[in-house]
Amino acid sequence: MQSPPEGAVAGRALRRVLYTKEDIAARVAEMGREITLAYPEEEELLVLGLLKGSFIFLADLVREIARPIHVDFLVAASYGTGTVSSGEVRLVYDPEVDVAGKHVLLVEDIIDSGRTIDRLVPLLRGRGPRSLELCALLHKRIARSAVLEARWVGFEPPPEFLIGYGLDHSENYRNLPFIASL
């Protein structure tokens, strides 16, 4: 699928396409190479994706990491049906995977307010990982302070509501191969 026809997708007007399918693929490949080099191969790496938004990014990213990894997921919610974070972060699914002594890479689709990360990082640190790093496809750089800064960031978009490539509005638009603003 190319750019949306006449600036609309499923009847909803788009402001613009910020990142094309090709832009995203190139940056994800680069991030995968950087992550591969950052971790010793002989030590276990656990990649934890934050669902639902990160699933497409995570799938593409782990295929670009050229080393053995384990993958699991967490689900946190803060948006509901709105376009602005509710400010309340709920951990909806926590697999309680054993992170003790492992290198953990937390993968997020977008860092907006930073509340989700601020809620999850202390929880994960309390489980005794060997290291904990954050990788985000998008980072708006509007959070006041963060308990963990992202080591790998794909893009720094403007403060607009974004959809596509896993990002949604009321569970719609995740399947778009590009990232656009509503």
pLDDT confidence of residue 135: 98
CA distance 28 to 62: 9
pLDDT confidence of residue 89: 61
Average pLDDT taken over every residue of the chain: 86
What are the tokens at 68? Answer: 């053995």
Range of 30's domain? 22-160
Which domain CATH number covers 147? 3.40.50.2020
| 112 catalytic per annotation | yes
What are the tokens at 110? Answer: 């977008």
Given a cut of 50, the residues of the chain with pLDDT beneath it are 1-6, 82-83, 85-86
pLDDT confidence of residue 6: 44
Would 176 be classed as within a structural domain? Answer: no
Would 34 be classed as within a structural domain? Answer: yes
Would 172 be classed as within a structural domain? Answer: no
| pTM for this entry | 0.85
pLDDT confidence of residue 175: 94
pLDDT confidence of residue 128: 95
Would 131 be classed as within a structural domain? Answer: yes
Would 5 be classed as within a structural domain? Answer: no
Domain count, the chain: 1
Which residue is associated with the tokens 């509005």? 169
pLDDT confidence of residue 92: 72
Would 165 be classed as within a structural domain? Answer: no
pLDDT confidence of residue 112: 86
pLDDT confidence of residue 182: 85
pLDDT tens, position by position, 12-49: 678 899 999 999 999 999 999 999 999 988 888 999 99
What are the tokens at 88? Answer: 């309340």
CA distance 153 to 109: 10
Q: Which of 98, 112, 118, 168 is catalytic?
A: 112
Would 81 be classed as within a structural domain? Answer: yes
Would 97 be classed as within a structural domain? Answer: yes
pLDDT confidence of residue 7: 57
Length, in residues, of the chain = 182
